[in-house]
Amino acid sequence: MMVGVLLAAGASTRMGSPKALVKEKGLSLLAHGVRHLWTACDAVVVVLGWNGALVRRRVEEEFQGLVGSGKLNQDLTTAHRHGSKGLEVTFVANRGWRSGMLSSVRIGLSEAIGLKPEAVVVLPVDCPSVKPATVHDLASLMRMALKASRTPRERREFAYALVPRFRKDRGHPIALSPALARAVAVDRGARDLSDAVRRNARLLGYFDVSDPGVVRNRNRPGD
């Protein structure tokens, strides 16, 4: 099982309203993120924080509308192709969201680890322009890297991260092996996700892509 973690807990101070609910091409950023992760992941964990109850209610209503209109039929077909039985999303609350994104990463990874994933794909909610094909290819490359391990024990202990790169700029989402996901989830000394990955990864790989969406972030109105 491949598990996605969508980080949507921040206060959105620069956006001026809940960033997860900001619309792009008719969908909220949160809906975009979940659907992108569904292209490769069997389950998605969404970490909410500021205004979490409101965000969850609005997004659940949005997905009910998408289901009723049939707009998730292609998502379901894609999910079946990679072995999923359906479209699964779980919401978890980060009550300590004020301490920064890494606290949401820890909570999301802890929830994901409980699902016994073969790998975890982490995506911030403010990256709506990532192409679904990029997410799929990133997850596939991580799966191939893990299968290359010589023994099951080596696979379990292999702390590996795979990061997309556009014109030498690193972006999102990031794929983590289970060993690295476990290590990052309990690392209390790291400053941020990048630092946690550097501190705990045995190997860090880069995946050069032609997708500018991996480095585009929506932080302010008009981004």
- What percent of the chain clears pLDDT 90, i.e. is strictly above it? 83
pLDDT at 204 over 90: yes
pLDDT band at 11 (very low <50, low <70, confident <90, very high): confident
pLDDT at 220 over 80: no
Helix, coil or strand: residue 93: strand
CA 217 distance to own-chain centroid: 14
25-42 pLDDT, tens digit each: 999 999 999 999 999 999
Mean pLDDT (the chain) is 93
How would you class 4 by CB atoms within 10 Å of its CB: exposed for 0-12, middle for 13-18, buried for 19 or more? buried
Residues facing 93 on adjacent strands:
48
- Read off the pLDDT of each residue in 142-169 and give the average, rounded to a whole number: 93
User: What local confidence, expressed as pLDDT, does residue 13 receive?
Assistant: 57
Instruction: Give helix then strand counts, H and E, for the chain.
Output: 8, 10
pLDDT at 101 over 80: yes
Q: What gap in Å lies between CA 51 and CA 183, rounded to an integer?
A: 29
User: What local confidence, expressed as pLDDT, does residue 82 receive?
Assistant: 85
Identity of the amino acid at 221: P
- What percent of the chain clears pLDDT 70, i.e. is strictly above it? 96
Residue (of 3, 23, 19, 210) closest to 126 by Cα position: 19
Cβ atoms of 149 and 30 closer than 8 Å: no
Residues facing 84 on adjacent strands:
none
pLDDT at 15 over 80: no
pLDDT at 76 over 90: yes
Q: What gap in Å lies between CA 66 and CA 72, rounded to an integer?
A: 6
Pairing of strands 203-208, 160-166: parallel
- Read off the pLDDT of each residue in 71-87 and give the average, rounded to a whole number: 90
Helix, coil or strand: residue 83: coil
**Which pair of tokens denotes residue 36?**
């992108």
pLDDT band at 16 (very low <50, low <70, confident <90, very high): low
Contacts of 196 (CB under 8 A, 6+ apart): 102, 105, 183, 184, 187, 190
pLDDT band at 152 (very low <50, low <70, confident <90, very high): confident
pTM as predicted: 0.94
User: What local confidence, expressed as pLDDT, does residue 12 receive?
Assistant: 63
Tell me the CATH architecture of domain 2-215. Alpha-Beta Complex (3.90)
CA angle 122, 40, 199 (to 5 degrees): 30
Who wins on pLDDT, 11 or 39? Answer: 39
Side-chain half-sphere exposure of 65, counting CA atoms within 13 A: 10
